[in-house]
């Protein structure tokens, strides 16, 4: 068999023998349409040959204009961990956003900036980017202005706990949809900064949710996390509290659809495991893994954002929590070993991994649902609804005043939060 005059000399399973016979110096994986599972299988065959290998960019990257077809690159860990792509085309979202304003909090962060990119693709009338991080906000605003010169784009530097700043934004731009991605997320850091975690993740969420309801937004969507399930960390507790705030906000403001979207770790986000591993590799340091059996659910940033947008369009998401079917959790140790292999570090004699032990607030395994929660299927097979009830527990909204008073006194308010969450879990 030949392809455009080039002889086909064997299958992937014959790779080792073919490479030796041909005196190959490098392997090129030229299968841009390969699914992550296919690519994992091909890469496993390449590993046994002992040569460096590169990959032709995937079709999605080429079509997006990010990479030219002739540009080869190293295989990334994201290529192997991703699942089948979710269709980005959401005509119903374009119809819903036409002539409206959209507000994204935390717009300069990993999730928030990708939300901004994908929302901009659906051509709202106005896109308001809200964040405290001046430099990162500057760059995402500049990027979007270049890509979408016709879009009315507003970058607002502000704090989600600043009620006056939020009031001004809502009164001025009247957002129809609000995607709330602003949050403190680093587990060990929040363990020693509980006051700021509660202030930002709980009080800040209520400020934005309440403003959304009072100003007649059609929908408010909270970006949540699997660490909110049976929380054992300050960060997890505050995100669970944020979920409860959103569910109760539905009762307080029935004219607005309130929802939360829960998912696991995202690959490549600032401070996440992959950038840390890559920095350690670049510096010639061992890769640090907390525990040999530690696992996490992973998804790419675009996947997470697609979930948020798709879930926001589901008719049964009102007053509920949505979650992605995330497949099987990944062992962090396997992630580190794969990264060493893909980077060529093992061929260069650098394959050290050290175990540091679980830090405060961390656990071996995460879950997407608590024991008292059930999940329901939706029209989208990749999204499920978490069935959880606010009834029978202590409402959190009436206690926010006590929490704010504690914060004003310089306390962290964790005692109030703990009493609410303990009651909820056992109810």
CATH number of the structural domain spanning residue 135: 3.40.50.720
Question: What range defines the domain where residue 310 resides?
Answer: 91-330+364-394
Residues 226, 263: contact at Cβ < 8 Å?
yes
Tell me, yes or no, if 185 is annotated catalytic: no
**Number of domains making up the chain:** 2
Contact status, residue 155 vs residue 129, Cβ threshold 8 Å: yes
Percent of the chain whose predicted confidence (pLDDT) is above 90: 46
**What pLDDT sits at residue 211?**
98
Q: What is the pTM assigned to this prediction?
A: 0.83
Q: Which DSSP symbol is given to 315?
A: G
The reply to whether 259 and 114 lie within a common domain is: yes
Q: Are 124 and 272 part of one and the same domain?
A: yes
- Residue 278 within a domain: yes
User: Is the same domain home to 247 and 301?
Assistant: yes
Question: Worst-scoring range by mean pLDDT, 7-11, 81-85, 110-114, 247-251?
Answer: 81-85
Please check the confidence at residue 306 and state whether its pLDDT lies above 60. Answer: yes
- Among candidate residues 54, 68, 227, 382, the one labeled active-site is 227
Instruction: Please determine, for residue 160, whether its predicted confidence score (pLDDT) is greater than 90.
Output: yes
CA-CA-CA-CA torsion for 130, 318, 300, 13, nearest 10 degrees? -170
With beta carbons less than 8 A apart as the criterion, state whether 260 and 247 touch: yes
Domain assignment present for 192: yes
Confidence at 20, pLDDT banded by 50, 70, 90: confident
Q: What are phi and psi of 295, to 5 degrees?
A: -130, 160
Among the ranges given (153-157, 264-268, 310-314, 379-383), the one the predictor scored with the smallest mean pLDDT? 264-268
8 DSSP 8-state letter: -
Residue 278's pLDDT is what? 84
69 in the same domain as 140: no
The model's confidence at residue 109, banded by pLDDT at 50, 70 and 90, is very high
How far is it, in rounded angstroms, from Cα 174 to Cα 210?
A: 14
Give residue 425's pLDDT.
47
């Amino acid at each position: 068999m030949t392809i455009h005059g080039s002889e086909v000399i064997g299958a992937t399973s014959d790779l080792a023998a073919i490479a030796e016979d041909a005196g190959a110096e490098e392997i090129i994986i030229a299968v841009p349409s390969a699914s992550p599972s296919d690519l994992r299988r091909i890469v496993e065959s390449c590993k046994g040959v002992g040569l460096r290998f590169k990959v032709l960019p995937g079709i999605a990257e080429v079509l997006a204009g990010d990479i030219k077809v002739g540009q080869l690159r190293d295989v990334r860990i994201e290529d192997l961990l991703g699942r089948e792509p979710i269709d980005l085309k959401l005509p119903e979202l374009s119809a819903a956003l036409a002539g409206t304003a959209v507000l994204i909090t935390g717009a300069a962060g990993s999730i928030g900036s990708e939300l901004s990119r994908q929302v901009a693709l659906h051509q709202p009338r106005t896109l308001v980017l809200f964040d405290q991080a001046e430099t990162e906000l500057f760059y995402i605003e500049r990027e979007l202005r270049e890509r979408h010169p016709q879009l009315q784009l507003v970058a607002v530097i502000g704090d989600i706990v600043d009620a006056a700043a939020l009031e001004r934004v809502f009164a001025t731009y009247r957002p129809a949809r609000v995607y709330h991605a602003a949050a403190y997320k680093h587990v060990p850091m929040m363990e020693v900064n509980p006051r700021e975690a509660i202030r930002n993740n709980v009080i800040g969420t209520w400020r934005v949710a309440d403003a959304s309801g009072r100003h007649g937004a059609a929908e408010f969507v909270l970006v949540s996390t699997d660490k909110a399930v049976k929380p054992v960390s300050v960060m997890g507790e505050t995100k669970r509290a944020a979920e409860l705030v959103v569910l109760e906000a539905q009762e307080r403001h029935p004219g607005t659809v309130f929802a939360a979207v829960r998912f696991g770790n995202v690959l490549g986000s600032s401070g996440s495991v992959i950038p840390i591993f890559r920095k350690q590799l670049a510096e010639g340091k061992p890769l640090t893994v907390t525990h040999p059996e530690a696992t996490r659910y992973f998804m790419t940033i675009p996947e997470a954002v697609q979930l948020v947008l798709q879930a926001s369009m589901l008719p049964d998401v009102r007053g509920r929590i949505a979650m992605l079917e995330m497949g099987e959790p990944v062992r962090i140790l396997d992630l580190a070993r794969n990264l060493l292999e893909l980077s060529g570090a093992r061929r260069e004699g650098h394959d050290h991994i050290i175990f540091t032990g679980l830090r405060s607030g961390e656990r071996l395994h995460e879950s997407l649902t608590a024991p008292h929660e059930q999940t329901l299927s939706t029209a989208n097979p990749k999204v499920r609804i978490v069935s959880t009830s606010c009834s029978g527990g202590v409402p959190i909204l009436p206690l926010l005043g006590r929490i704010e008073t504690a914060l004003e006194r310089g306390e962290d308010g964790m005692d109030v939060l703990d009493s609410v969450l303990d009651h909820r879990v056992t109810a």
